[in-house]
Homo-oligomer: A and B are copies of this chain.
């Protein structure tokens, strides 16, 4: 699978995510017309993600958000009741969407080596489609209350566990030689993260996503499929 194929399969759109979110929280929202609510919520999310990516969520004022989203101050408050609630909503619903999509791509594959590669590619390609979301998850954790920080924390552990499980499965069946599946899973995550947190570097160097995906797969496979190092 390459990025182009992934993109056509997933077709994750911001609108889908927002519509899902609206339907789940219909009761709490002041706006009753679904298409109005979804359209505006898409603007708000898009604007928030863009501005947060540029200057950080804390530094983004609600007046900035008005300008970027095209809504007025008063209108914004029909969609959330405080700036803190806005950051929470994006975290909460974003992580849920990511987990849903990643689950699709790692179930129904048996061979651990194939599954590992599928998980890495799906994860990386999704981080590309949802680049601002992924960056937001990591950079804006501190804007959550101590209690709500469990959301990104659990999401981090959940994704990591996808890798750990595959690695342990492969170890049990003798396909992989991996001493520490936990550290290895966490290393895979670290490599994913570099792609979306330091995109400027990869853009500058003309390194495309498929090239990066191949690289991550090769470094991990050389580690877990190795027969014997020359040490």
Chain B nearest CB: distance from A52 CB in Å?
9
Q: Which residues of B contact A130 (CB under 8 A)?
A: none
Q: Does A73 contact B (CB under 8 A)?
A: no
- B215–A225 contact, CB under 8 A? no
The verdict on A1 contacting chain B, using a C-beta distance below 8 Å, is no
With A180-B215, A187-B219 as contacts: A143 and B226 at CB distance below 8 Å: no
**A189 in the interface, Cβ–Cβ < 8 Å?**
yes
Interface positions, chain A 185-231, Cβ under 8 Å from B, are 186-187, 189-191, 193-194, 198, 200-201, 205, 207, 212, 215, 218-219, 221-223, 225-231
What is the oligomeric copy number? 2
Tell me whether A221 and B231 are in contact (CB under 8 A): yes
Quick one: which of A157-195 are within 8 Å of B by CB?
157, 180, 182-184, 186-187, 189-191, 193-194
How many angstroms from the CA of A58 to the CA of B140 in the assembled complex? 12
Given A139-B139, A194-B190: A222 and B226 within 8 A (CB)?
A: yes
Decide yes or no whether A156 CB sits under 8 A from chain B. yes
Chain A, interface size category, equals 35 or more
**For A142, A143, A191, which residue has the most chain B Cβ atoms within 10 angstroms?**
A142
Q: Judging by beta carbons under 8 Å apart, are A225 and B229 in contact?
A: yes
Q: A180-B215, A190-B190, A193-B194 are in contact. Are A56 and B142 (CB under 8 A)?
A: yes
A55 CB within 8 Å of chain B:
yes
Question: Which listed residue (B157, B215, B230) contacts A226, Cβ 8 A?
Answer: B230
In the bound complex, residues from chain B placing their C-beta under 8 Å from that of A231 are 221, 225
How far, in whole Å, are A153 and B180 apart by their CA atoms in the complex? 33
